[in-house]
Amino acid sequence: MISLIGEYDCKVDSKGRFMFPAGLRKQLGEAFDKGFVLNRNLHRKCLVLYTLDEWNKLNKKLKGLNRLIAKEDMLVRRILGGATPVEADSAGRLLIPRSLGDYAALASDVKVLGSNNVVEIWDKAAYEAIMSEEIDMESLAEDVLSKLNFSEDDE
């Protein structure tokens, strides 16, 4: 199981490619060479890069939804609609399809983040704006983390 961390500043070239950060590549190990699935984030205007293993786990769960139920059908469509297989070229660059780059309003400067089991790709200015938003971290932590078990027995 992967657990990706780190923030990296990258440049997108005129063809929509960026050099995948060496620090994340090292964390991914063999998973890097298997390829990825790139997709829209459902909550924010950024992109999510899944390893093939992580994408297959998500897709397996989506296959369990009933496409005859409108909400489930809509969710599957929203998640799968932009999903695009991507692979690094021989130089270690990934190509961001234009439709996905447009969705996330990616300019030449992007922020690439290790985010646990996925990689997030943000327009750098948008990421900095979101990270500078005033939020009550104490309340957020209480609401979210109180649902988790932090006992020493967990691995």
For the chain, what are the domain ranges? 7-145
Q: pTM score, two decimals?
A: 0.90
Tell me which DSSP letter residue 15 carries: T
Superfamily of domain 7-145: Transcriptional regulator MraZ domain (3.40.1550.20)
Element (H, E) at 7: strand 7-11
Q: How confident is the model at residue 155 (pLDDT cuts 50, 70, 90)?
A: low
Q: What is the CA radius of gyration of the chain?
A: 17
- Model confidence at 109: pLDDT above 70: yes
39-96: pLDDT as tens digits: 999 999 999 999 999 999 999 999 999 999 999 999 999 999 889 999 999 999 999 9
Q: Supply the pLDDT for residue 40.
A: 96
Q: Are 94 and 18 in contact (CB under 8 A)?
A: yes
Q: What is the mean pLDDT of the chain?
A: 93
Q: Supply the pLDDT for residue 136.
A: 87
Q: How confident is the model at residue 1 (pLDDT cuts 50, 70, 90)?
A: confident
Q: Starting from the edge strand earliest in sequence, which strands make up the sheet with 47-51, in order?
A: 7-11, 109-115, 118-123, 47-51, 36-40, 84-86
- Model confidence at 110: pLDDT above 70: yes
Q: Supply the pLDDT for residue 146.
A: 85
Q: Supply the pLDDT for residue 148.
A: 85
